Structure 1
Amino acid sequence: MTLAPTLYDFQVALSHVDRSIDQPQLVIKLARHPSETMQRAWLRVLAFCWLWEERLTFSKGLSEPEAPDIECRDYTGLVTRWVRVGKADPLKVQRAVDQNPHAKVVVMFESAQRLEAFLVEAREAKATRVVKAELAAVDADLLRSLSQFDSRRIKLSLTFVGDHAYVECEGQSFDGPLTRATP
């Protein structure tokens, strides 16, 4: 018997200053796979909010290893954004870049150290086209702090200014930088 995913309801007041986004009532429904940590679930939520646009959706993720974790399609069904969160294989990211020429490929890591390790792996594997993907990492301390919140309904306020995230969740405030890879 397979275990069913746990459903989470994130009620987010989202502000992305640099992109002029103000979504006071963004509702995010997240299905957390039984093998997924709460830290990875939060990483998906942060990536979803950081990249938010209409038609952005969570895809099959852990249930389908070749599928992105988050994707966006235009009205014709063409993939316009392909997103992987957490540990990523450089060759699979390169394949995503090659197979989705009209999409912006993004990988969001759980720490700046994991981002650096990915870049080393990519160089060793000679996966040179990963530089076409946008690579970023969430502050590990911020992610660790947020992963303490593990209730089925979570209400938060999230603001992105530059490459910095500010989060208010259940009366507590957290913040941390987003680190981007430099080609």
Structure 2
Amino acid sequence: MALKATIFKADLQISDMDRHYYQNHILTIARHPSETDERMMIRLLAFALHADPMLSFGKGLADIDEPDVWQKDLTGAIDLWIEVGQPDDKRILKACGRATRVIVYSYSSTGAIWWGQTGSRVERARNLSVIQIPAETSAALARLAQRNMQLQCTIQDGQIWMGANADAVQIDLETLKLTQSY
């Protein structure tokens, strides 16, 4: 018998002063049986960083043809494709062919090794950004995971804070590759 996804609920309050986006999102997150709390919280962080009424969670690990988070326009075209982890170069290039923008959030302590192997194979992708989240930060985010979460995410002047009440995590992102202008 196959294991079923674990359902998490998140009440996420976003105050993004850099984008002037202030909204509360009530989210249902299906955590795949093979997914860790750490990976799930990075998906939630990615949602907060790109929050938009059209943004939604994809099937991610459960379906190889969908990203972890994505945003489609009203015609169904994919505006934003977000991968979490260390996808292989074929998956990244396939996503770059299907979406206007692709962002990969890598969070493992082996991120530098992965990027050293993958970076040269995806350098031609002009619509790709790759962001590294330090392992200590992703582990701290994992400790915030609960079946029912009330989280606040504040973004101001490039500084990111995510937490519940007084337990907040400062998130410093390292850009490994930035989308090139057209």
TM bracket, shorter-chain basis? 0.7 to 0.9
| Cα contact 1:84–1:106 (8 A) shared by 2 | yes
1:15 and 2:23 correspond: no
Off by >2 Å, runs of 4+ in structure 1: 116-119, 126-132, 137-140, 161-164
- The structure-2 alpha-carbon separation of the partners of 1:12 and 1:99, relative to structure 1 and needing over 3 Å to count, comes to closer
Aligned-partner SS, 1:28: strand
Which range is displaced more, 69-78 or 149-158? 149-158
| Residues in 1 aligned to 2:159 and 2:89: alpha-carbon distance in whole angstroms | 26
Structure 2 residue 116 is the aligned partner of structure 1 residue 120:
yes
Greater share of helix? 1
- Decide whether the 8 Å contact of 1:110 with 1:137 is kept in 2: yes
Change (3 A) 1:152 1:143: same
Q: Secondary structure at the match of 2:39?
A: helix
Deviations 1:117-160 (A, max 9, x none): 34312245x33324530111223222211212332101111112
Alpha-carbon deviation of 1:161? 2.3
Q: CA deviation at 1:33?
A: 0.6
Q: Output the CA distance in 1 between the equivalents of 2:161 and 2:4.
A: 32
Contact 1:90 1:118 in 2 (8 A): no
Provide the rounded CA distance (Å) in 2 between the counterparts of 1:143 and 1:122: 21
Cα distance between partner residues in 2 of 1:130 and 1:48 = 23
Given the alignment of the two structures, is residue 87 of structure 1 paired with residue 83 of structure 2, yes or no?
A: no
Task: Report if aligned partners of 1:32, 1:41 keep a CA contact under 8 Å in 2.
Answer: yes
1:181 match: secondary structure: strand
**DSSP 3-state at the match of 1:68:** coil
Matched residue SS, 2:53: coil
Distance 1:72 1:123 in 2: 24
Relative to 1, partners in 2 of residues 1:84 and 1:181: Cα closer, same or farther, differing over 3 Å? same
Counterpart in the other structure of 2:46: 47
In the TM superposition, what is the alpha-carbon distance from 1:180 to its structure 2 partner?
1.2
Per-residue displacement from partner, 1:89-142 (whole Å, max 9, x unpaired)? 122212211233xx211111115751x334312245x33324530111223222
In 2, Cα distance between the equivalents of 1:179 and 1:122?
A: 16
Instruction: Give the match for residue 107 of structure 2.
Output: 110
Unaligned runs of 5+ residues in structure 1 are none
Report the equivalent of 1:179.
Answer: 174
Correspondences of 1:146-165 after superposition (within 5 Å): 146-165=141-160
- Measured in 1, the distance between the counterparts of 2:92 and 2:175 equals 16
Question: In the alignment, which residue of structure 1 is the partner of 2:57?
Answer: 58
Matches within 5 A, 1:18-33: 18-23=18-23, 25-33=24-32
Q: Secondary structure at the match of 1:54?
A: coil
Decide whether the 8 Å contact of 1:3 with 1:34 is kept in 2.
yes
| Runs (5+) with no aligned partner, structure 2 | none
Percent identity between matched residues is 25
CA contact (8 A) 1:90 1:121 kept: no
